[in-house]
């Protein structure tokens, strides 16, 4: 990490950049105000769809310096490196050996997460990793144990927790604004359909997509479901050939009596459909889809509204940014890690049990103390 001393004249610039500088790090010396600005030096591994939204957040965030980009595709890495004035690599060796690097963002295909996360932690780097963290509870546990051993941050990127609308719903539920929660619904329909190359190595719809909704249910309500029943269908032949599903309904029951449904599709032709609804004894909270403009065209016999966000990079751009800033603050300023080892474990167990329910065609109890062996 680098500490930069800044004179007073640039203080307003930092404020406009939403820089988080704790009071204790601001001091006065010989009547001249200085700020201590800590800078997180990072490497980004993977420059595909996820890597690109992280780059957008890095462009906007203060206190973060991108030193390396790593991708197997060297031309992609070189183009990004030219923009950011950093080094382009096709393997991570130099990143892990560089003592100047504080943290690594892992945005590579799912099956590579465990190896990169472990290697980064073993090299003493903090990590923000795309979901899912691992393909088994054993891998998840090993990563968090390594983070603890090395006293480093391991931040699992459940980005929807940082979406301003969803986090406002969670806060209002917590405040008791809608009384006792009775029903929660999440809708996540993807757009555009990801490539078959992506889906092939995604670990399936439960661990690739439904994990977000399962995390959202716990985030919105503060409760853990105790029973799950999932139905799945295939409307897309190429997904069926992979023994995966493109359309799933998950139903969950909680100890309090609360019920939840998750409605998932790999492909909504009208855009990236992301909604949540929480119904309680004193009202209902909804977070609707976002639209870029509010212009509505009324004409004879029709009303036209703008389309919803086309995909995740725009829909969740604010959430991705807040997530990155939160990671920076965990590493630099010791802020509380928002997504814990217990969250990652429970999420994996829920997704695994939902998938088992779907395959068996039966409702299943969710055993959080279990040894899920897969
Ligand atoms: N949180 C979200 O909203 C969100 C959205 C999309 C993807 N993701 C996650 O991000 C991860 C990446 O998904 P994506 O859609 O960006 O995939 P992608 O296929 O678009 O991009 C992957 C990138 O990684 C590079 N790559 C592949 N293997 C590599 C390796 N071993 N080392 C270095 N680089 C390598 C590829 O060249 C490519 O540029 C997945 O795990 C996915 O679950 C999360």
Q: What is the CATH number of the domain that holds 226?
A: 3.30.360.10
Q: Which residues span the domain enclosing 31?
A: 2-156
Handedness of CA 325, 327, 333, 335 (dihedral sign): positive
Residues 28 and 114 in one domain: yes
Note down pLDDT in tens along the chain; length 374 residues: 655 554 433 433 343 344 444 444 444 444 444 457 899 999 999 999 999 999 999 999 999 999 999 999 999 999 999 999 999 999 999 999 999 999 999 999 999 999 999 999 999 999 999 999 999 999 999 999 999 999 999 999 999 999 999 999 999 999 999 999 999 999 999 999 999 999 999 999 999 999 999 999 999 999 999 999 999 999 999 999 999 999 999 999 999 999 999 999 999 999 999 999 999 999 999 999 999 899 999 999 999 999 999 999 999 999 999 999 999 999 999 999 999 999 999 999 999 999 999 999 999 999 999 766 54
Is residue 250 in a domain? yes
Could you tell me which residues are beta bridge partners of residue 43? 68, 104
- Select from 156, 173, 205 the last residue of a domain: 156
- Select from 137, 156, 175 the last residue of a domain: 156
Q: How far is the CA of 45 from the centre of ligand 1 (A)?
A: 9
Count CB neighbours of 294 within 10 A: 7
CA distances from 157 to 50, 86, 106, 132, 220 (A): 11, 24, 10, 8, 17
Could you tell me which residues are beta bridge partners of residue 365? 227
- Select from 99, 128, 156 the last residue of a domain: 156
Question: Which H helix or E strand runs over 148?
Answer: helix 137-150
- Residue holding tokens 């472990």? 118
- 3-class DSSP state for residue 296? coil
Residues 16 and 130 in one domain: yes
Q: Examine residue 123 and say whether the peptide bond preceding it is cis (omega within 30 degrees of 0).
A: no
Q: How far is the CA of 112 from the centre of ligand 1 (A)?
A: 9
User: Distance (Å, rounded) from C-alpha 196 to C-alpha 200?
Assistant: 6
Residues 40 and 24 in one domain: yes
> What pLDDT shows up at residue 3?
59
Residues 50 and 194 in one domain: no
Nearest C-alpha neighbor of 361 from the set 207, 244, 230, 251: 230
Counting from 1 in the atom list of ligand 1, the atom nearest the Cα of 71 is 34
User: Distance (Å, rounded) from C-alpha 141 to C-alpha 114?
Assistant: 11
Residues 150 and 228 in one domain: no
Number of separate domains in the chain: 2
Q: What is the pLDDT of residues 121-156, one digit of tens each?
A: 999 999 999 999 999 999 999 999 999 999 999 999
Is residue 371 in a domain? no
Residues 69 and 171 in one domain: no
Name the region of 251 (left: φ>0; alpha: ψ -120 to 50; beta: rest): beta
User: Would you say the CB of residue 367 lies under 6 angstroms from ligand 1?
Assistant: no
Q: How far is the CA of 43 from the centre of ligand 1 (A)?
A: 15
Residues 264 and 357 in one domain: yes
Counting from 1 in the atom list of ligand 1, the atom nearest the Cα of 70 is 33
From 49, 159, 211, the mutation candidate for ligand 1 (largest count of ligand atoms within 8 A of CB) is 49
User: Distance (Å, rounded) from C-alpha 68 to C-alpha 73?
Assistant: 14
Is residue 327 in a domain? no
CATH number at 66 reads 3.40.50.720
For 267, phi then psi, to 5°, come to -150, 100
Is residue 222 in a domain? yes
User: Distance (Å, rounded) from C-alpha 328 to C-alpha 324?
Assistant: 6
Is residue 374 in a domain? no
> What pLDDT shows up at residue 4?
53
């Amino acid at each position: 990490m680098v500490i930069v001393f800044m004179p007073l004249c640039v203080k307003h610039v930092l404020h406009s950049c939403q820089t988080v500088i704790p009071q204790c790090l601001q001091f006065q010396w010989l009547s001249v105000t200085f700020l201590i600005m800590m800078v997180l030096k990072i490497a980004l591994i993977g420059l595909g769809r996820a890597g690109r939204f992280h780059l957008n957040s890095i462009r906007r965030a203060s206190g973060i310096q991108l030193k390396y980009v790593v991708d197997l595709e060297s031309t992609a890495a070189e183009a990004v490196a030219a923009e950011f004035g950093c080094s382009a690599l096709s393997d991570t060796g130099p990143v892990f050996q560089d003592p100047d690097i504080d943290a690594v963002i892992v945005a590579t295909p799912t099956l590579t997460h465990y190896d990169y996360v472990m290697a980064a932690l073993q090299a003493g780097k903090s990590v923000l990793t795309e979901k899912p963290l691992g393909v088994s509870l054993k891998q998840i546990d090993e990563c968090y144990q390594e983070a603890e051993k090395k006293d480093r941050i391991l931040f699992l990127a459940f980005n929807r927790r940082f979406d301003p609308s969803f986090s406002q719903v969670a806060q209002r539920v917590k405040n008791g604004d809608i009384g006792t929660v009775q029903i929660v619904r999440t809708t996540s329909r993807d757009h555009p359909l990801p490539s078959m190359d992506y889906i092939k190595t995604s670990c399936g719809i439960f661990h690739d997509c439904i994990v977000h909704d399962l995390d959202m249910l716990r985030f919105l309500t503060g409760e853990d479901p105790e029973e799950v029943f999932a139905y799945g269908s295939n409307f897309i032949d190429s997904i069926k050939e992979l023994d995966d599903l493109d359309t799933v309904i998950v139903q969950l029951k909680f100890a309090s009596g609360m019920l939840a449904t998750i409605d998932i599709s790999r492909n909504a032709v009208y855009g990236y459909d992301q909604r949540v609804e929480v119904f309680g004894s004193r009202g209902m909270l909804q977070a609707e889809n976002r639209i870029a403009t509010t212009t509505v065209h009324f004409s004879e016999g029709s009303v036209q509204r703008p389309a919803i966000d086309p995909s995740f990079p725009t829909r969740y751009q604010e959430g991705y940014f807040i997530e990155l800033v939160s990671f920076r603050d965990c590493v630099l300023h010791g802020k509380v890690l928002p997504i814990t080892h217990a969250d990652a474990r429970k999420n994996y167990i829920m997704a695994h049990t939902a998938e088992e329910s779907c395959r068996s065609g039966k409702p299943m109890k969710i055993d959080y103390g279990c040894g899920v062996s897969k």
